[in-house]
Amino acid sequence: MKKTYKIEVDCANCANKMEEATKKTEGVKDAVVNYMTLKMKVEFEDGADVDTVMNNVRNNCKKIEDDFEIYL
């Protein structure tokens, strides 16, 4: 399953780091963060609990930029 989320991120470098952190999150098959459109596309592994995965993604991204936000 793939979903697109609106995000808030302050710089392109942070967006790249967040993309890598998201890809490493358990339950994520692939992810793309687009700084220009402020969107995050996430492809989930089969059987993954989307809410739990996205909470983990948010926590991982907040380690990079503490005011980062994902609008679920």
Q: What is the CATH number of the domain that holds 32?
A: 3.30.70.100
- Per the DSSP assignment, residues forming a β-bridge with 43 are 2, 30
Alpha-carbon distance values, 71 to 16, 39, 48 (Å): 18, 10, 19
Range of the domain at 33: 2-71
For 24-72, write each residue's pLDDT tens digit: 999 999 999 999 999 999 999 999 999 999 999 999 999 999 999 999 8
Report the predicted TM-score, pTM, of the whole model to 2 decimal places. 0.94
How many domains does the chain contain in total? 1
DSSP 20-64: HHHHTSTTEEEEEEETTTTEEEEEEPTT--HHHHHHHHHHHHHTT
